[in-house]
Amino acid sequence: MNLTKKEFKKIEHLMPKARKKPTVSNYQFMCALLYIIENGTQFI
């Protein structure tokens, strides 16, 4: 599942505000989260 910038703009106001300068944007975090939800992870 790919999250477009236009789709993210609709939910961006629901994301928490950063307390300090973030190393990863909320958009990148959401894309990574959706990737993990869709594909799962492998545990050894």
Whether the pTM exceeds 0.85: the reply is no
What is the rounded radius of gyration, in angstroms, for the C-alpha atoms of the chain?
12
In the chain, count H helices and then E strands: 2, 0
Q: What is the pLDDT of residues 1-44, one digit of tens each?
A: 789 999 999 999 999 888 999 899 999 999 999 999 998 887 65
Residue 39: which residues within 8 A CB-CB, separation 6 or more? none
Q: Are 31 and 4 in contact (CB under 8 A)?
A: no
